[in-house]
């Protein structure tokens, strides 16, 4: 399987896990009034938190394969560059979270910079 596809899978699993975790944690927020232990017990028994954790584990498994095929600095940069943009778009779409034009420009500039550094640094076949 292509290392780029594996990076995408790991990134999407992380993104999906975070999107599931957000409403789960908001639903458990009232448990914080009684203390952190109640909150943690509520999280540990929440189907949404368990689903989010399951997605994160799948992403971690994909990431193990990524690390066997690619340099960590390259793989992490590629994942991060796409993650920033995808998370901002998904947060806007699913939760109505808005970023200013300057924030979008900043995310775009970071992503472009990471891609440029990665493209210049990439050595095929070296892990």
pLDDT in tens, the chain (127 residues): 899 999 999 999 999 999 999 999 999 999 989 989 999 999 999 999 999 999 999 999 999 999 999 888 888 888 888 888 888 899 999 999 999 999 989 988 988 888 787 777 655 555 5
Tally of domains within the chain = 1
Among candidate residues 59, 115, 123, 121, the one with its CA nearest the CA of residue 82: 115
With respect to residue 82, please indicate whether it lies within any of the assigned structural domains: yes
Range of the domain at 58: 3-121
Q: 108 in a domain, yes or no?
A: yes
Does 38 map to a domain? yes
> Which of these, 113, 89, 82, 114, lies nearest to 103 by C-alpha position?
89
Q: What is the largest CA-CA distance in the chain?
A: 54
Q: Which phi-psi region, left, alpha or beta, contains residue 74 (left: φ > 0; alpha: ψ -120 to 50)?
A: alpha
Answer whether residue 56 is part of any domain.
yes
74 inside domain: yes
Domain presence at residue 45: yes
Q: Is 75 part of a structural domain of the chain?
A: yes
Q: Is 126 within a domain?
A: no
């Amino acid at each position: 399987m292509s290392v780029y596809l594996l990076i995408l899978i790991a990134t999407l699993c992380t993104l999906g896990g975070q999107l599931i975790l957000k409403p789960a944690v908001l639903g458990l927020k009232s448990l914080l009034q009684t203390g952190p232990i109640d909150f943690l017990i509520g999280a540990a028994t929440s189907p949404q938190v368990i689903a989010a954790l399951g997605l994160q584990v799948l992403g971690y498994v994909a990431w193990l394969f990524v690390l066997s095929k690619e340099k960590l600095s390259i793989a992490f940069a590629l994942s991060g560059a796409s993650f920033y943009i995808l998370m901002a778009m998904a947060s806007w779409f699913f939760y109505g979270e808005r970023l200013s034009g300057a924030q979008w420009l900043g995310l775009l500039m970071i992503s472009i910079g990471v891609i440029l550094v990665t493209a210049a640094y990439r050595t095929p076949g070296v892990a």
